[in-house]
Amino acid sequence: MAQRALPLSSLPRSGAGLWALLVAGLVIGPVTAVIWRAGGLGALGPADFDALWFTLWQAAVSAGLSVALAVPVARALSRQRFPGRGALIALLGAPFILPVIVAVLGLLAVFGGNGLVNQLTGALGLPRIDIYGYHGVILAHVFFNLPLATRLILQGWLAIPAERFRLAASLGAPVGRLLERPMLRRIAPGAFAVIFVICLTSFAVALTLGGGPRATTVELAIYQAFKFDFDLAKAATLALVQLALGIGSALALLLLSPPDGFGAGLDRLQARWDGRSRPAGLCDALWIGFAALFLLTPLAMIVLAGLPGLMVLPVETWQAALRSVSVALGATALTLVLALPLATRAGELAGLLGVAVSGLVLGTGLFLIVQPLMRPAEAALPVTLLVNALMALPFVLRILRPELDAARADFGRLAATLGITGFALWRIVLLPRLRRPLGFAAGLTAALSMGDLGVIALFADGEHATLPLQLYRLMAAYRMEAAQGAALLLLTLSLGLFWLFDKGGRANA
């Protein structure tokens, strides 16, 4: 069981290296363009190093907590069956895809000064809880990323062949040590890496819930350098530091995660005997209850706050919604086409560049490259699709790669014996085994592409506003009620797209 069937390198990779270089170029090219325009790199001051230190440790703590909490939640979801489980799993994906400002308002409705928690503690005569501070930043990052970690780890659980659980149960063998720990060792470092990198580029969340300048991240310093000082050299330098940190840590973690050693199964529906004892059942129920309460209460508050606003939404908002959905579908198609050949270790590293790079610097670099060739507004649509795809790739690859590696290891030799190669290999052997992760990945990409896109601010001409932009416009015009309606619309559409794709892939989950 510990031996892999075939060295992975001996299987065809459809020129993955070339694809990886292409994707890396799409990030490194624009950053280089900014450095070139700036005429070099800039110097960093003491405040920048403070920001760097805060960025690093909050990202590490946020990612560590997200993954640690996700393990028991995912285990509970993997071994218990109850009505509404599918809907709960889909809903748990929601926080990750919310625009920052919407999620923050939802969190504050629960944990803020007048939030539910403080109303409760007030009624009980307990001291008020203050959310603002380092703990607020971490709470928000766990709120955003616990669902992603849970889904990544749950997927690992569901990928353990049903026959192994049956065997373990009949032998009375410890499931945890033999099946679950090896799976976690394989999945958890990658999940940590991708969440760590997301938290590195956090900005508005950290600032708002951090309560002030102590919670300054590198991304804020980049924003300041670009917007206020127009100091491209400094912005580029900070972006390079951020990139190096993200890629360095991701590289270390991905190298650490061992390959799969389970061997193939027969795709039977998993039956779990280990979750049937009363203590195990109780423990699982507690974890599921905790996750549902923590993640769904803020969402419920967003829905409640948004309902009155839905009635007063201007026509522009509905048009923007339609536009956002089309962009999301286009970006999803592009991302999947890019992702399949990239689902290798090199590809995943190249893909991580997309989320490790500062959106502002990426957008500026693309603008500098496009501008001599055509009017930037004409490039707005392709650039939007490309940037969306770049942003979603790291998540998609993290979802696809473990499953694809497993499929190659389990069936690669058989396929090679039968002479199945190239397109046929994908069609007959690999894609059918990727149904579940592909559905999840497509859903996530579509939902993420509905979300915030500060990156293309330079390309926009104002004619084709997307829904998140429209939401900000409503707020800027004091229309807070309509803005909350738009937030609800955005939440509904993102979740709807996510659910549709994910459902398609989760036929037997």
- Figure out which of the listed residues 321, 469, 488, 489 binds another protein, where binding follows CB under 8 A: 469
In whole angstroms, how close is the CB of 442 to another protein at the nearest point?
A: 16
Burial (Cβ within 10 Å: 0-12, 13-18, ≥19) of residue 507? exposed
**Token pair of 481, please?**
């009620």
Distance separating alpha carbons of residues 381 and 506, to the nearest angstrom: 31
Contact flag: residue 126 with another protein (CB under 8 A): no
Sign of the dihedral defined by the CA atoms of residues 98, 103, 109, 115, in that order? positive
- Measuring CA to CA, which residue among 341, 337, 252 is closest to residue 21? 341
- 40: tokens are 């070099």
User: Cβ 457 to another protein, closest distance in Å?
Assistant: 5
Closest approach, Cβ 228 to another protein, in A, equals 7
* Neighbour count for residue 298 (Cβ, 10 Å): 26
Q: Is residue 496 involved in binding another protein (CB under 8 A)?
A: no
Cβ at position 431, least distance to another protein in Å:
23
Identify the three-state secondary structure at position 172. coil
- 194 versus 325: smaller Cβ distance to another protein: 325
Directed axis angle between helix 380-417 and helix 345-356, to 10°?
160
277 or 326: whose CB is closer to another protein? 326
User: Considering just the CA atoms, what is the radius of gyration of the chain in Å?
Assistant: 23
Establish if 371 lies at the interface with another protein (CB under 8 A). yes
* From 399, 483, 489, 509, residue interacting with another protein (rule: CB under 8 A): 483
Give me the 80-119 binding string for another protein, x by CB under 8 A, dash otherwise.
---------------------x--xx--xx--xxx-----
Nearest CA to 262 among 398, 413, 417, 157? 157
Nearer CB in complex with another protein: 20/471: 471
Which residues 6+ apart lie within 8 Å of 482 measured at CB?
Answer: 309, 312, 313, 314, 317, 474
**Contact call for residues 153 and 70 (beta carbons, < 8 A):** yes
Two structure tokens written together for 76: 């509970």
Distance separating alpha carbons of residues 39 and 36, to the nearest angstrom: 5
Q: Name the segment binding another protein (CB under 8 A); options: 8-16, 58-66, 159-167, 200-208.
A: 200-208
| Span interacting with another protein, options 169-177, 225-233, 285-293, 488-496, rule CB under 8 A | 225-233
To the nearest whole angstrom, how small is the minimum distance from the Cβ of residue 263 to another protein?
Answer: 42
For position 475 contacting another protein by CB under 8 A, the verdict is: yes
Q: How far is the CB of 388 from another protein (least distance, A)?
A: 13
Name the residue among 310, 308, 315, 291 with its Cα closest to residue 493. 310
Nearest to 311 by CA among 478, 486, 103, 470: 486
329 is a contact residue toward another protein (CB under 8 A):
yes
Q: Is 460 in the site for another protein (CB under 8 A)?
A: yes
Q: Which stretch binds another protein (CB under 8 A): 2-10, 87-95, 362-370, 410-418?
A: 362-370
Q: Using CB under 8 A, which of 173, 421, 457, 508 touches another protein?
A: 457
Q: Which two tokens stand for residue 382?
A: 């392709």
Q: Which stretch binds another protein (CB under 8 A): 20-28, 148-156, 346-354, 472-480?
A: 472-480
Is 210 near another protein (CB under 8 A)? yes
Of positions 282, 377, 418, 424, contacts another protein by CB under 8 A? 377
Q: At what angle do helices 134-158 and 85-92 cross, to 10 degrees?
A: 130
Contact 132, 211 (CB under 8 A): yes
Long-range (24+ apart) CB contacts under 8 A made by 289-293 are: 290/73, 291/69, 291/73, 291/92, 291/146, 291/150, 292/88, 292/92
Q: Could you tell me which stretch among 68-76, 77-85, 192-200, 377-385 binds another protein (CB under 8 A)?
A: 377-385
Binding of another protein by 423 (CB under 8 A): no
Q: Is there binding between residue 300 and another protein (CB under 8 A)?
A: no
Residues of this chain that bind another protein (CB under 8 A): 37, 47, 101, 104-105, 108-109, 112-114, 132, 203-204, 207-214, 216, 220-221, 223-224, 226-228, 230, 305, 314, 316, 323, 325-326, 329-330, 364, 367-368, 371-372, 375, 377-378, 381, 457-462, 465, 469-470, 472-473, 475-480, 483
